[in-house]
Amino acid sequence: MTRRTGGPQERRKDSGEDDWDGGVPSPSRAGQGTPRPGAGTAASRTDDPGERARAICLRLLTGTPRTRKQLADALRKRDIPDAVAEEVLSRFEEVGLIDDASFAGAWVESRHHGRGLARRALARELRTRGVEPAVVDEAVGRLDSEQEVETARALVERRLRSTRGLDREKRIRRLAGMLARKGYPEGLALRVVRRALEEEGEDPEALEWYLSES
């Protein structure tokens, strides 16, 4: 009896069939092994700049919102012609895949509650990401002054214990400096620090003298 050689896997390899479907591993093989040479993404194997631009944008948007400018910069670095990039980005905006207003609103919410950043710092971060000034103003405007003060107080309360043992001047400088780095105005920072130290038992008159000299 003649033994048959070459199972289904071997026959596929011998016939030149490709295990990769469109350059993307099947779900059952995701993350296993290393792609063979030449088996990259669809964007890397097409000469159509529009297809490449769409693939790049979709990959960058996966799991992480981006501003239009961030995507435009990425396309420019990958030598996508400006006219093609403009067309693709505009289409992505039309279908809601790019939304700078939503990005800015979510950024303010996350960074204020997560990092305690004030409006000034949040506006600076959004501008560096290419968000239009009017959109920035609208997003940070949702954060009112009262909420900003409460966040500043919470930040000082968390840091207060670590400054105990330092002299008064160093404590004030360290706490106010922490708030300043997060974008809080100097006057607000000093008022919040003063209140926290008074509640801890510091002499109000001594604080008044120091803060009036600052």
In tens digits, the chain (214 residues) has pLDDT values of: 444 444 444 444 333 333 323 332 333 333 334 333 334 444 445 689 999 999 999 999 998 899 999 999 999 999 999 999 999 999 999 999 999 999 999 999 999 999 999 999 999 999 999 999 999 999 999 999 999 999 999 999 999 989 988 888 888 889 999 999 999 999 999 999 989 988 888 766 656 655 654 5
Q: Token pair of 160, please?
A: 């207060």
Cα–Cα dist 29/84, whole Å: 34
The string over 76-86, giving b where at least 16 C-beta atoms fall within 10 Å of a residue's C-beta and e elsewhere, is eeeebeeebbe
pTM of the model: 0.71
Cα–Cα dist 122/111, whole Å: 7
